[in-house]
C-alpha cells in the first residue's frame, strides 16, 4: 500500500460519517454546533442568536460512465482508498460548477486517457458504503471517440472485461448493481 494512505481508517471514517461527518464548529462564527430536531431530523445547528447556520448533511453527487465496446466493459482499478486495488466504473465527485455530464466526461479522461461522448443517461444510484461520504451516483452510457487508453490519476490499471470474466473485487455496491442492471437491460 502507498505510504501516504497508511492513515486511512475506514472504520473510523464510517463512525465519523454517521456522526455529522465529524463537524463540531460553526463555519460562520466558530461556536460549537448543537444537535437540534429540525424538519423531523436530528441536525447540527449553531446555537448563537445572530447566526443561522444549520449543517444539512447531504450525499455528494458523483457521475461516471458505462463504456462497452465489442461486448466488453471498461473498468478502472482504484489507486486510492477506499478499496485500493478493487475495480469500479470510471467515476468521481462533481466539481462545484459542473453538470454531471461534464463530470462523467472529465473523470473518464482523467482516469483512462480516453475521450468519450455520452450517448444516454443510464441510471442513478445511492451509494452508502464509501466511508468518506454518502453519494448519489449518476451513470451515463458512453462511447469512445478519441484518446489513448492509459491508467492515470486515480487508477492503477484500466482494462476491458468480457461479461463472463468480470473482476471479482468491485469496489462499491452501486457499481455491482450497475453491472447487473446493464446486463439485464442490454444483453
Ligand atoms: Zn454560527
Residues 42 and 52: their CA atoms lie apart, in Å, by: 16
Residues 80 and 36 in one domain: no
Alpha carbon of 54 to ligand 1 centroid (Å): 8
Instruction: Give the chain's length.
Output: 187
- What is the pairing mode between strands 155-162 and 72-78? antiparallel
- As a whole number, the mean pLDDT across the chain is 95
- Percent of the chain topping pLDDT 70: 98
Q: Domain check: are 47 and 64 in the same one?
A: no
Active site residues: 157
Residue 98 grid coordinates: 459542473
Final residue before a domain boundary, out of 21, 37, 55: 55
Question: What tens digit of pLDDT does each residue of 72-100 get?
Answer: 999 999 999 999 999 999 999 999 999 99
Q: Which residue has the higher pLDDT, 46 or 153?
A: 46
Neighbours of ion ligand 1 (CB under 5 A): 26, 28-29, 46, 48, 51, 53
For residues 13 and 81, membership in a common domain is answered with no
pTM of the model: 0.93
CA distance 89 to 91: 6
CATH number at residue 148: 3.90.79.10
pLDDT in tens, 119-147: 999 999 999 999 999 999 999 999 999 99
Checking DSSP bridges between strand 60-69 and strand 135-147, what pairing results, if any?
parallel
Helix (H) or strand (E) holding 11: helix 10-17
Tell me the pLDDT band of 60, cut-offs 50, 70 and 90. very high
* 79 burial type by CB count under 10 A (0-12 exposed, 13-18 middle, 19+ buried): middle
Same domain for 177 and 122: yes
Residue 111 belongs to domain spanning: 60-186
Amino acid at each position: 500500500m502507498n505510504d501516504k494512505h497508511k492513515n486511512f481508517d475506514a472504520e473510523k471514517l464510517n463512525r465519523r460519517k454517521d456522526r455529522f461527518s465529524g463537524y463540531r464548529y460553526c463555519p460562520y462564527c466558530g461556536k460549537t454546533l448543537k444537535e437540534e430536531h429540525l424538519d423531523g431530523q436530528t441536525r447540527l445547528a449553531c446555537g448563537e442568536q445572530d447566526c443561522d447556520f444549520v449543517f444539512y448533511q447531504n450525499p455528494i453527487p458523483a457521475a461516471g460512465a458505462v463504456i462497452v465496446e465489442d461486448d466488453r466493459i471498461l473498468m478502472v482499478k482504484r489507486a486510492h482508498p477506499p478499496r485500493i486495488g478493487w475495480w469500479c466504473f470510471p467515476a468521481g465527485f462533481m466539481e462545484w460548477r459542473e453538470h454531471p455530464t461534464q463530470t462523467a466526461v472529465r473523470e473518464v479522461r482523467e482516469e483512462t486517457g480516453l475521450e468519450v461522448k455520452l450517448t444516454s443517461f443510464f441510471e442513478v444510484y445511492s451509494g452508502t458504503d464509501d466511508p468518506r461520504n454518502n453519494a448519489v451516483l449518476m451513470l451515463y452510457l458512453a462511447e469512445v471517440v478519441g484518446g489513448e487508453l492509459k491508467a492515470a490519476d486515480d487508477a492503477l490499471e484500466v482494462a476491458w472485461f468480457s461479461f463472463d470474466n468480470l473482476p471479482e473485487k468491485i469496489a462499491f455496491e452501486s457499481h455491482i448493481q450497475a453491472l447487473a442492471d446493464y446486463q439485464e437491460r442490454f444483453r
